[in-house]
Structure 1
Amino acid sequence: MDSEDVKRGEQIAQSGKHAPADSPPAPVDGAALLAEVERFIRRFTVLPTEHAYVALVLWAVHTHFIVQLETTPRLACLSTEPGSGKTRVLEILDLLCHNPLLALDLSMSAFFRIVDDMQPSILLDEVDAIFTGKSKSEATEDLRRVINNGYRIGAVVQRVGGKNRDQVHEFRVFTPVAMAGLGNLPDTLMSRSVIVKMKRRAPGEKVEQFRDRLHRPVGRQIAERIAQWASEVGDLEYPELPEGVADRDADVWEPLLMVAAAAGGDWPQRAEKACLAFIADKPESSVSLGVRLLADIQKVWPEGAPTMFTGNLLMALADMEDAPWADLYGEGLRPRKLSKLLSDYGIKPKDVRVSGVGNAKGYRREDFWDAWQRYCPPVPDEGADEGSHSLKKGDIRDIRDTPLVTSGNTVAVTDTNSDKGDTPQPCDQAKQIDVADVTDVALSQRMCATQSGRSCPGCGAKVPAGHVQCPDCYQARQGVA
């Protein structure tokens, strides 16, 4: 522990004396002040990334500019295990923020009355006990809605009061809120938050022991200088947002980028990097299944290919690591569910042709462009990095030569060999496929059988690429001698 700092803290705590009242404070250097805030935070906390320190500094300082802001991002310090330093972060913020209020629990009525009266920086601990598990109730849902809406200026809660209950009272709920807890928050809160995923300190990660009686005076002195700097800065300017930062992400990060721009030095650059890093690392829980599907299709689409068969698309999605498609709903993503999810974005399967392969049900790349541009990160340049999930054209095989072991009606598959032109030609009897019912499952099985290394279900022999059984068993099934 810094002995000089301890001594200074004890002196301030005992005497309560500051600079003489008739001595005007010197102008504050914003960049140097934010650096001091960062040093103070680093003394008592270990955060998961350098960007997290930047975000925490800017969040603490932005509370002193709350009267100028249109939005105030929620700060969420979350962890999977206790003892990860979440509460310590709130204790440090309690020293640095404007008008702080550290609380374990707040009812909705207490929240909006306190905010309307004081506009404090609310520091809410153990939110997992409020918003998740058995504690979740109609009352906690009301609190969640108030915290959600209170991130934007002008948000109010209306209540009926008066002697005869004939008067409508409005309570302002716009105020900074930081939360700490285990697990995750409801998606609507996560989307409005800067999310810091806390971890337990490793054996080699050392911090100073925090003692409120010693460090509160020092922390509050820093807060006073932040308030002084905020008054000297005057009106904040709106900086140009990084490319791709819009809508809810802009609401969250614009106030922090404004503070960084006012501070100057290297803070604007550090803030922009932190902004992009946090957005890129946004938890998947805040992304709908449909948007996740669009983004993953964007990743696996064969480079340069205008169309893609349904079966090949399903196979590529199922092969993605850390993706939900292989075991979605316990059975994997099927053609009908794929079609249903994509139909919400105006995308429908069509009869498509893959050059050099043939015709079948599938999707056109051009049908995805509008949805990709609206819901997904910027579309990358053509070409995939090594190790990506994108299929190459050579991975797309002729699904017409993939027999299916079923029984029932015989369905002829047309032949579109290049030497016969583009006009479909009837296949010979050996290429007919026995299909009990042309279902999504059958289509998926037939289309997805495009990889070598299979074993024939009839005899166990190796199956050629693009087949689900060996030629002998297939011919026997067809009655071919």
Structure 2
Amino acid sequence: MDESTSSTNPAGAALLDELREATARYVILPSGEALTAVTLWVAATHLQPALQHAPRLAVVGPAKRCGKSRLLDVITETVHDPLITVNTSPAVVFRAIGEDPPTLLVDEADTIFGSVKAAEKNEELRGLLNAGHQRNRPALRISGPEHKPQAFPTFAMAALAGIGDLPDTIMDRAVVIRMQRRKEGERVEQFRSRRDIPSLHAVRDRLTAWLRPLVDTAAELVPVMPVKDGAADTWEPLVIVAELAGGSWPEQARAACVAMCAAEVGQDDEGNLKTRLLQDIRCVFARREDPDILRTCDLLQELNDDREAPWAEYGTNGLTPRHLGLLLKDFGIKSATHRFEGGRQAKGFARARFTDAWARYCPDEPGPESGDGSTPQDSGLVR
């Protein structure tokens, strides 16, 4: 079933508006898009039996007092069946997840994954969080007096809050909310459990009453997504909720998806650096009129001479042949010995080896044409 508005509900749109306002009452989010994302993520927890993917909500900040725990407080009182995992063993969490899973909540996640020792200790929990992003990824454990293998479901939405980025495997599966400390003049209401939880529970119960009857409808929706691949999987449940609500929410959801996914592209430092290297190498080939082969020493000289690029400061003496090889390894690109004009042999890179990586990782910057696409022979004379 394609994107449809046949099940949209004005009351649902108004309820999302109310949830959005309730969240903003206690927490200042970094942007309107982030507030939209949190609102839709909370609502999506009430549709988990219909979903193929269970997006994580990564609430991260650079320091203490950025509102991470307060946001988690509000989320806890509005999501479906919250399960707080602090001091809870993975075995308990495994057994708590079923066909209608709870919503996992992890505060101070940096203390769980922030150090090598802590990460090793909590590797089982991270494995559960990684596997549980997609349906039908059970965890096998030996259980019972007969010590037989048993498959435990892992599929469940999860919100994690902590200082600094969470492990890459979690961040890649998450809607990321990057909190900031409040500025002078920014005001929010104090959160008081006795006073505020009843009203939040009222919103939660109305979300359940609206969305639970729509589980079968939601399971059939295939919304048009403005992003691709893993990002589309993570954001699809939020867009499904927006489609069910109608009004301005479908537009808001897709705008938030595009803006927040784009913002996260630059956060992957290592991946971003490798992509930058591919782009800069393409420029070097273009400046030299696209030779079939480029000497490694010439390539490195041009890269290190570019004062607006990071390569001169990469390592102690700038980018080296070893550094270059390691950065290009994941793209399957290696140097080889070639024979150049005058019969001299030297290490170099064939331009044809880069064309596939350029097409995959730098599609927005058209590269120079590669002629007939043939790969030069290593024994050939390069002029």
Which TM bucket (shorter chain)?
0.7 to 0.9
User: SS of the counterpart of 2:238?
Assistant: helix
**Aligned-pair distance for 1:382?**
7.2
**Aligned-pair distance for 1:137?**
4.9
Aligned equivalents of 1:70, 1:118: Cα separation in 2: 13
Q: 1:364 to 1:260 in 2, by over 3 A?
A: farther
Q: Percent identity?
A: 35
The residue that corresponds to 2:78 in the other structure is 96
Q: 1:278 to 1:312 in 2, by over 3 A?
A: farther
**Aligned-pair distance for 1:80?**
1.4
Aligned equivalents of 1:144, 1:241: Cα separation in 2: 28
Aligned equivalents of 1:120, 1:337: Cα separation in 2: 46
Q: 1:90 to 1:367 in 2, by over 3 A?
A: same
The residue that corresponds to 1:29 in the other structure is 11
Assess if the C-alpha contact under 8 Å between 1:105 and 1:125 holds in 2.
no
The within-5 A match list for 1:140-155 is: 140-155=122-137
The residue that corresponds to 1:210 in the other structure is 191
Q: For structure 1, which runs of at least 5 residues remain unmatched after alignment?
A: 1-26, 354-359, 384-421, 425-481
Aligned equivalents of 2:102, 2:135: Cα separation in 1: 14
The within-5 A match list for 1:11-90 is: 29-90=11-72
For residues 113-141 of structure 1, the C-alpha deviation after alignment (integer angstroms, 9 at most, x for no partner) is 22248721111101111112265153301
The within-5 A match list for 1:82-161 is: 82-116=64-98, 119-133=101-115, 135-161=117-143
Which among 366, 372, 379 is matched to residue 364 of structure 2?
379
Q: 1:164 to 1:214 in 2, by over 3 A?
A: same
For residues 51-81 of structure 1, the C-alpha deviation after alignment (integer angstroms, 9 at most, x for no partner) is 1111111110110110000111111111111
Assess if the C-alpha contact under 8 Å between 2:49 and 2:100 holds in 1.
no
The residue that corresponds to 2:224 in the other structure is 240
User: SS of the counterpart of 1:136?
Assistant: helix
Q: 1:273 to 1:117 in 2, by over 3 A?
A: closer
Aligned equivalents of 1:132, 1:343: Cα separation in 2: 28
Task: Name which one, 1 or 2, has greater alpha-carbon Rg.
Answer: 1
**Aligned-pair distance for 1:364?**
5.9
For residues 258-298 of structure 1, the C-alpha deviation after alignment (integer angstroms, 9 at most, x for no partner) is 22222222222222222222222226564655x63234432
What is the TM-score normalised by the length of structure 2? 0.80
Assess if the C-alpha contact under 8 Å between 1:78 and 1:180 holds in 2.
yes
What is the TM-score normalised by the length of structure 1? 0.65
Assess if the C-alpha contact under 8 Å between 1:306 and 1:364 holds in 2.
no
The within-5 A match list for 1:244-259 is: 245-246=228-229, 248-259=230-241
Q: 1:343 to 1:96 in 2, by over 3 A?
A: closer
Are 2:168 and 1:187 aligned? Answer: yes
Are 2:243 and 1:261 aligned? Answer: yes
Are 2:258 and 1:276 aligned? Answer: yes
Aligned equivalents of 2:328, 2:20: Cα separation in 1: 46
One-letter code aligned to 1:158: L
One-letter code aligned to 1:161: S
Aligned equivalents of 1:117, 1:231: Cα separation in 2: 14
Q: 1:380 to 1:99 in 2, by over 3 A?
A: same
Aligned equivalents of 2:335, 2:117: Cα separation in 1: 44
The residue that corresponds to 1:396 in the other structure is none
Q: 1:101 to 1:346 in 2, by over 3 A?
A: closer
Q: 1:320 to 1:142 in 2, by over 3 A?
A: farther
Assess if the C-alpha contact under 8 Å between 1:349 and 1:363 holds in 2.
yes
**Aligned-pair distance for 1:333?**
1.3
One-letter code aligned to 2:164: G
Aligned equivalents of 2:36, 2:280: Cα separation in 1: 31
Aligned equivalents of 2:258, 2:103: Cα separation in 1: 25
Q: 1:377 to 1:177 in 2, by over 3 A?
A: farther
Count the aligned residue pairs. 349
The residue that corresponds to 1:171 in the other structure is 152
More displaced stretch, 132-141 vs 255-264: 132-141
**Aligned-pair distance for 1:336?**
4.0
Assess if the C-alpha contact under 8 Å between 1:28 and 1:225 holds in 2.
no
The residue that corresponds to 1:7 in the other structure is none
The residue that corresponds to 2:314 in the other structure is 328
Aligned equivalents of 1:322, 1:74: Cα separation in 2: 34
- Give RMSD over aligned pairs: 3.1
Aligned equivalents of 1:54, 1:119: Cα separation in 2: 23
**Aligned-pair distance for 1:363?**
5.0
Assess if the C-alpha contact under 8 Å between 1:129 and 1:135 holds in 2.
no
User: SS of the counterpart of 2:77?
Assistant: helix
For residues 212-236 of structure 1, the C-alpha deviation after alignment (integer angstroms, 9 at most, x for no partner) is 2111111111111111221343412
Q: 1:183 to 1:352 in 2, by over 3 A?
A: farther
For residues 36-65 of structure 1, the C-alpha deviation after alignment (integer angstroms, 9 at most, x for no partner) is 111111111111122111111111011011
Assess if the C-alpha contact under 8 Å between 1:80 and 1:182 holds in 2.
yes
The residue that corresponds to 1:219 in the other structure is 200
One-letter code aligned to 1:125: D
Aligned equivalents of 1:60, 1:377: Cα separation in 2: 35
Assess if the C-alpha contact under 8 Å between 1:90 and 1:102 holds in 2.
no
